[in-house]
Structure 1
Amino acid sequence: MKKLFLFGILAVLLSCKKDKTPNNDQLIGSWEYRGTDCYCEPPKDLSAVQAGNGNIIVFTANTYKRMHKDTLIKSGNYRTRRYDNAHEQIMFDNDTSANSITFFKIEGKILTFYGTVPLAADGPEDHYERL
């Protein structure tokens, strides 16, 4: 009886194991910059946040490219991980320093980067729209 009870507890614990690696399928594709929300000065050039501005990030399953008007700005590898039940992080170019791991979320067609802390009340939020 004890063995059966212990086996049942073990089965429950193993089935509740959380996957720390999120599915990157939602991230794959092209995203264009749409603006930054923060306690900062609004952009003077509104064309920088309108559709067709050319500030694009392209993600594949494990690589990225940052483009500005068809010019490659930066490229490399990335990986994501689940921070907790509500937050995910992205790390570019295997840079594991605390200032390089960025929180992000995807809601519908909007990708938002939060910075190095999840959803800081006064921190900047960079928004991108799926193309």
Structure 2
Amino acid sequence: MKKLLLFGVLAVLLSCKKDKTPNNDQLIGKWEYRGTGGCECVPPKDPNSVKPGNGNIITFTSTTYQRFNKDTLIKSGTYRTRRYDDAHEQIMYDNDTSSNSILFFRVDGKILTFYGTVPLVVDGPEYKYEKL
């Protein structure tokens, strides 16, 4: 009887699929650029571009985004996210499935980090934003 119960529990656990669609709530809001790090990248030419109030902002609703550069709208559209694996999430803008348009990201509290097209590459660039 115990073996049958154990088999039943295992069958249920193994048949469950993980949801590959993360909750977009973590992105909703207004994020301001704070700098590029994680590599030996050239710093921004404008030293004010990483200070609060710099105007380099991305805003997210549950399905749309807007990018601003110095408070001027430069791009807007739709986005969606998905869980790549247990540790990584990706964002895709405007249903563009080309490999250069699907970026890895992470939200840690009030910090949003974009990693590029490869998850957490050693010495790769990290683009940091702070939630306003």
User: Cα deviations across residues 61-103 of structure 1 (Å, max 9, x unaligned)?
Assistant: 0000001233210000000000011100000000111111000
Large movers: runs of 4+ above 4 Å: 1-6
Is 1:74 matched up with 2:79? no
* TM-fit CA distance, 1:7: 3.8
Give the TM-score normalised by the residue count of structure 1. 0.91
Q: What CA distance in whole angstroms lies between the structure 2 residues aligned with 1:5 and 1:50?
A: 58
Matched residue count: 130
Q: What CA distance in whole angstroms lies between the structure 1 residues aligned with 2:23 and 2:60?
A: 13
Match of 2:21 in 1: 21
Is 1:130 matched up with 2:98? no
Q: What CA distance in whole angstroms lies between the structure 2 residues aligned with 1:73 and 1:87?
A: 28
Alignment of 1:108-127 (within 5 A): 108-127=109-128
Give the TM-score normalised by the residue count of structure 2. 0.90
Match of 1:30 in 2: 30
What is the Cα-based RMSD across aligned positions, in Å? Answer: 1.7
SS in 2 for 1:99: helix
Match of 2:41 in 1: 40
> Please, which runs of 5 or more residues in structure 1 have no aligned partner?
none
Letter in 2 for 1:27: L
Q: What CA distance in whole angstroms lies between the structure 1 residues aligned with 2:41 and 2:23?
A: 33
Letter in 2 for 1:32: E
SS in 2 for 1:119: coil
Change (3 A) 1:43 1:71: closer
* TM-fit CA distance, 1:56: 0.4
Change (3 A) 1:8 1:43: closer
Change (3 A) 1:4 1:41: closer
Change (3 A) 1:6 1:39: same
> Please, which runs of 5 or more residues in structure 2 have no aligned partner?
none
Using the aligned pairs only, state the percent identity: 70
SS in 1 for 2:68: strand
User: Cα deviations across residues 91-121 of structure 1 (Å, max 9, x unaligned)?
Assistant: 0000111111000000110000000000011
Match of 2:57 in 1: 56
Q: What CA distance in whole angstroms lies between the structure 1 residues aligned with 2:114 and 2:63?
A: 17
Letter in 2 for 1:28: I
Letter in 2 for 1:21: T
